[in-house]
Structure 1
Amino acid sequence: MTDCCDAGNLFSVTKANTPVGKKLWFDGEFFYSLTIDNATYSIFPQDTPLKHPMKKCSVVGNSGILRNSGCGRHVDQADFVIRCNLPPLTSEYTKDVGSKTQLVTVNPSIIEKRYQNLLWARRAFVDSLHVYRDSFLYMPAFSMMHGTDPSLRVYYTLMDFRANQSVLFANPSFLRNVGKFWRNKGVHSRRLSTGLFMVSAALGLCEEVTIYGFWPFHVDLKGKSISHHYYDDILPLSGFHSMPEEFLQLWVLHKAGVLKVQLDQCA
């Protein structure tokens, strides 16, 4: 798993791996590509800013199993903390999910639904990011055509407001490699979840990986009903992800000692 997808070199788009003139094939729309021009090239970092291998990493999903888990302190003890899709980190939740963040993913649909595609809600967006301090925002700008413009707007908004956060664009080659790897393991879905992409990245970037909030079921280990997310009970669109299949693969890795899946309450 650690060698499957070359996360060290391909996790994000950089000047080193995506030169001017390269045709960047989108991983979510297989017949669409973007030829990198000077303007686009100029916004890429020279190399990945993630210094790897990192020692201890936490990947935090958003499952309702995190509620009342008391795992926040354990999450924050990691050297690098990854979160998914701008989850709330208010004081109501930090005891269970922690407050530390080095990288948080942002689905372009969030920019559309919460922030009107940043056409007139830019200040509100920047203010909402304060809780993530100086983290990287990881965005799949080159996965689907409709995600490119919102992702670029995030980049330029953060630049214009001189925000503490910065954007990393997911490299479609990395996402494609991860998707192929898990399909070969038996995960069949229209698209992998953000969480599985991030766990896959962590396994390539970190020496020790613990994952929290990865539990796709409606009851906990004791049979008690739990909400879908730790912060709400809104269900995802059906038929898009195969969360139980993904969890099974993560559990196999847990049993093999490749990573740790935290499901119980933290001591």
Structure 2
Amino acid sequence: MIMTQENTVIGQTITFDAETKIKQNITKSLYSLFPKKSPFQKPIRTCAVVGNGGILTNSSCGAQIDGADFVFRLNFPPLNWTDDIGAKTDLVTSNPSILMNKFSSLTEKRKPFIMMVQEYSSPLILLPAFSYSANTEVSLRVLYTIEDFELNSKVVFFNPEYLKNLSAYWKSMGLKFGRLSSGLMVVSIAMEVCDKVTLFGFWPFSKDLNGVPILHHYYDNVPPKPGIHAMPDEFYKYLQMHIQGSLRLNLEHC
């Protein structure tokens, strides 16, 4: 799942999972940036994976989310609505395109990025550094920036081999997509490392269960770019797993 010093060696060449023609040599300096072992040490009993869907608005799920042993969040969402979304964050992903567009790839002022990170309680920051060539430099800048400002957060990177295998698995399960969403990537990790997984805020539709219009995200109404992810199809997979008892999909007020 994560690049560690246990699953890589100095001198190894890895292949990017999205741009498969791109390869990266694991130098001594790069190797030194990886954690010695996986940050996911079992057993983790209960996990909450918090999506950013508008269905969380007025849900009062914050306490239930914060009651989980481990809380995953996606793409550094704002935490202003703690009654609905909680505040606890053990791991948060970040889409490199957001870092590029919102924070100028951390090549200019870095304080706005640091202020955003400081809203969280020292989470693991998970980045797809070895998916696209454009991701690598900005992902490393995140790690260096966290170190330079002496924050307690740790930056870790997806293992591209894991993402390649994960993509193949979900395709074998009938999903059709350009690329897996970060949500499904994180749900997949949670399913592997947690005994019980509950999903909150996963709802890719414009109306709730009662037919009431809702925002796309609990914090804005910006839809995803078309043609990349298969959000409704992914949701139906979550629903299937909920019915099977593999995870719990929370769609109601808490």
Q: 2:49 aligns with which of 59, 63, 67?
A: 59
- How far apart, CA to CA, are the structure 1 residues paired with 2:112 and 2:32? 27
SS where residue 213 of structure 2 aligns?
coil
In the alignment, does 2:154 pair up with 1:150?
A: no
- How far apart, CA to CA, are the structure 1 residues paired with 2:20 and 2:56? 36
Task: Give the residue type in structure 2 aligned to 1:201.
Answer: I
2:33 is matched with which residue? 43
1:20 is matched with which residue? 10
| Displacement of 1:49 | 2.1
Trace 1:204-243 onto structure 2 (pairs within 5 A): 204-243=192-231
- How far apart, CA to CA, are the structure 2 residues paired with 1:16 and 1:169? 14
- How far apart, CA to CA, are the structure 2 residues paired with 1:17 and 1:76? 32
Q: 1:89 aligns with which of 79, 97, 108?
A: 79
| Displacement of 1:50 | 2.1
2:246 is matched with which residue? 258
1:76 is matched with which residue? 66
SS where residue 175 of structure 1 aligns?
helix
- How far apart, CA to CA, are the structure 2 residues paired with 1:161 and 1:86? 18
Task: Give the residue type in structure 1 aligned to 2:103.
Answer: Y
1:33 is matched with which residue? 23
- How far apart, CA to CA, are the structure 1 residues paired with 2:196 and 2:47? 6
Which ranges of 4 or more aligned residues in structure 1 deviate by more than 6 Å? Answer: none
1:169 is matched with which residue? 157
- How far apart, CA to CA, are the structure 2 residues paired with 1:22 and 1:251? 40
Task: Give the residue type in structure 2 aligned to 1:24.
Answer: I
| Displacement of 1:18 | 1.1
Trace 1:80-119 onto structure 2 (pairs within 5 A): 80-90=70-80, 93-119=81-107
SS where residue 200 of structure 1 aligns?
helix
List alignment gaps of at least 5 residues for structure 1: 1-10
2:124 is matched with which residue? 136
Between the aligned residues of both structures, percent identity stands at 44
**Matched positions, count:** 254
Q: Which moved more, 1:42-51 or 1:75-84?
A: 42-51
Task: Give the residue type in structure 2 aligned to 1:138.
Answer: L
2:181 is matched with which residue? 193
Task: Give the residue type in structure 1 aligned to 2:211.
Answer: G
- How far apart, CA to CA, are the structure 2 residues paired with 1:214 and 1:37? 39
List alignment gaps of at least 5 residues for structure 2: none
What RMSD in Å do the two structures reach over aligned CA positions? 0.8
- How far apart, CA to CA, are the structure 1 residues paired with 2:181 and 2:40? 22
- How far apart, CA to CA, are the structure 2 residues paired with 1:193 and 1:220? 21
| Displacement of 1:69 | 0.6
- How far apart, CA to CA, are the structure 1 residues paired with 2:76 and 2:247? 24
- How far apart, CA to CA, are the structure 1 residues paired with 2:253 and 2:87? 17
Q: Deviations over 1:208-249 (max 9, x none)?
A: 000001111110000011110000001111011111110111
Task: Give the residue type in structure 1 aligned to 2:219.
Answer: Y
- How far apart, CA to CA, are the structure 2 residues paired with 1:223 and 1:45? 46
| Displacement of 1:169 | 0.6
